[in-house]
């Protein structure tokens, strides 16, 4: 009698467990999607500001300005690249943006930060998709009796898993590359153009370098925003001047 009661209680409990699991997956997916879209729209709609009228860097006033790339219209002033054609200032930490159609307008410090955060949340969401598809992908190869009967369903399952996995790996490489550049306070161009035998004058240490990009408040590192103190005190956010090391060997 008791065995029958216990079996009866366990039977209806299984659907609730499955529904609870699916609900958690949907909540996590929607949270990551909202964070990704928030970061994306912050990249697109945050005004990068303009180069102040008649602004010149000290090296330009001394006649020592150099052009870092003759094939482009970037003028190298420390790690600050004012683009005089469009009138915007592009932070030196900005290398090639990912999926940003207006990356030239988003290449300032806050744009770099928000874009990096967007890539992180996109990566996490892609990993979540891959993990959800993984059990079905394993069944596809190990249990022929449970495979989808439709050829279209098989193709969709296979392509969805492979594409999500490949995209997650590419995003991981992209995030690692940009984090490495930010931690050394350099650009992808400067990595190859600067002298390897000399110390990089803008490398203040990985902690301070990351604080120049993400701010000093660690709680906001994963949110597309800065605290008021950082906006007022961190010069790199303005994109005009960048602190340098006093002991750098040039």
pLDDT in tens, 56-111: 655 555 554 444 443 333 334 434 444 443 444 444 334 334 433 333 333 345 66
Residues 139-142: contacts with CB under 8 Å, at least 24 apart? none
119 vs 163: CA distance, rounded Å = 16
Which residues are within 8 A (CB) of 66 and not within 5 positions of it... i.e. 6 or more apart?
76
**Residue ranges of the chain with per-residue pLDDT less than 70:** 1-14, 47-111, 143-151, 194-197, 233-241, 247-250
Given a contact cutoff of 8 angstroms between Cβ atoms, the answer to whether 85 and 68 are in contact is no
93 vs 96: CA distance, rounded Å = 10
Which residues are within 8 A (CB) of 109 and not within 5 positions of it... i.e. 6 or more apart?
91, 93, 212, 213, 234, 236, 237, 238, 239
* CA-to-CA separations, 157 to 77, 141, 165, 201, 234, in angstroms, rounded: 51, 12, 12, 51, 48
Q: Considering the entire predicted model, what is its pTM?
A: 0.69
175 vs 169: CA distance, rounded Å = 10
237 vs 176: CA distance, rounded Å = 22
């Amino acid at each position: 009698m008791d065995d029958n009661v216990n079996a009866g209680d366990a039977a209806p409990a299984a659907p609730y467990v499955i529904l609870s699991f699916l609900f958690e997956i949907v909540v996590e997916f929607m949270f990551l999607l909202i964070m990704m879209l928030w970061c994306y729209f912050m990249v697109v709609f945050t005004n990068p500001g303009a180069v102040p009228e008649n602004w010149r860097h000290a090296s330009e006033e001394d006649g020592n300005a150099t052009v870092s790339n003759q094939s482009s219209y970037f003028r190298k002033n420390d790690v600050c690249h004012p683009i005089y054609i469009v009138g915007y200032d592009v932070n030196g930490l900005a290398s090639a943006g990912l999926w940003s159609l207006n990356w030239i307008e988003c290449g300032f410090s806050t744009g770099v930060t928000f874009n990096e955060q967007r890539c992180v949340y996109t990566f996490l969401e892609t990993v979540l998709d891959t993990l959800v598809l993984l059990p079905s992908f394993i069944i596809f190869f190990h249990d022929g009796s449970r495979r989808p009967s439709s050829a279209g369903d098989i193709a969709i399952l296979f392509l969805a898993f492979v594409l999500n996995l490949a995209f997650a790996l590419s995003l991981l490489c992209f995030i690692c590359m940009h984090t490495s550049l930010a931690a050394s306070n350099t650009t992808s161009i400067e990595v190859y153009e600067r002298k390897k035998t000399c110390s990089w004058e803008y490398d203040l240490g990985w902690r301070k370098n990351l604080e120049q990009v993400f701010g000093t408040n660690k709680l906001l590192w994963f949110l597309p925003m800065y605290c008021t103190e950082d906006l007022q005190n961190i010069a790199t956010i303005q994109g005009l001047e960048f602190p340098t090391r006093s002991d750098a060997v040039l």
